[in-house]
Each structure stands twice: as C-alpha cells, then as structure tokens.
Amino acid sequence: MIYNIQQLAVNTILANYVIPIDTPTFLGVFKVPCFDASEVSKNVIIPDSECGNVYEFVITGTSEIYEDLTSGDIYFEDLGTWTVDLYYQASTTNLNPTLATFIETFKIQVNGSA
C-alpha cells in the first residue's frame, strides 16, 4: 500500500496492528527516494493515538528548520515515493531501530503543496 501525504502538512495514517506491549511508541525509518537507503534515511518517532488495535499515526511535514525527529516533524526534502520501515518499542526517545521490534514496511507518496 502507498499512502499519499503532503510535504508541508499534518498527515494521518490509520493502521490496524496487534502490539504485545501497553502504550507502545512507534519508530519509522524513512528512506529517501532515489538514494541508497543505508546512506540517506531519517529515524522518526511517530506520534499516535490508539483505539483497540487501530492506530492513528500523525506525520507532520515541515520546513527544514522546524524538523524534530523525536516528535514526528519531518522535513521531506525530496518529493516522491519514500519507503518507511515501522517499528514499535517501549522507549519514547529511542531513534535506533536495532533496539525496537519491526512491524512492517510501507510506502508513502510525498506530494507538494496543493
């Protein structure tokens, strides 16, 4: 699945997961299009709200000076299709995916302002 999001906007994604810990924190590894993912990626704490097993993720596209990867504010310098590896964890501050549990990989299509 590819989710459409805006480069400079508050974007929401709904997903259904069974997570085996209470109050998980989600970590997304956003891989920039057209580059080797090991060279250009951003690790982002993704704010969420949960009802049952349905999670609403909030990804805020922002300008470079306002980027805050620990609160879901990300600067999408490139438009196009980004790959996101999604993880869950107990930590609210960890940005290292090797310390989190992998859930899945999905894609987002980052579009310019409407």
- For the chain, the residue count is 114
Q: What's the total number of domains in the chain?
A: 1
Looking up residue 81, the CATH number of its domain turns out to be 2.60.40.10
What is the per-residue pLDDT across 50-77, written as a single tens digit (0 to 9) for each? 998 999 999 999 999 999 999 999 999 8
The domain of 42 spans 2-111
Is 98 in a helix, a strand, or coil? helix
- CA atoms of 56 and 16, how far apart (whole Å): 9
List the structure tokens of 27. 């970590």
Is 12 in a helix, a strand, or coil? strand
List the structure tokens of 92. 């609210």
> What pLDDT does 33 receive?
76
Residue type at 107 in one-letter notation = K
Mean pLDDT, residues 27-52 taken together: 84
Tell me which residue of 102, 62, 108 sits closest to 83, measured CA to CA: 108
Residue 6, pLDDT > 70, answer: yes
User: Vertex 23, ends 17 and 27: CA angle to 5°?
Assistant: 65
Residue 113, pLDDT > 80, answer: no
Task: Name the average pLDDT for the chain.
Answer: 92
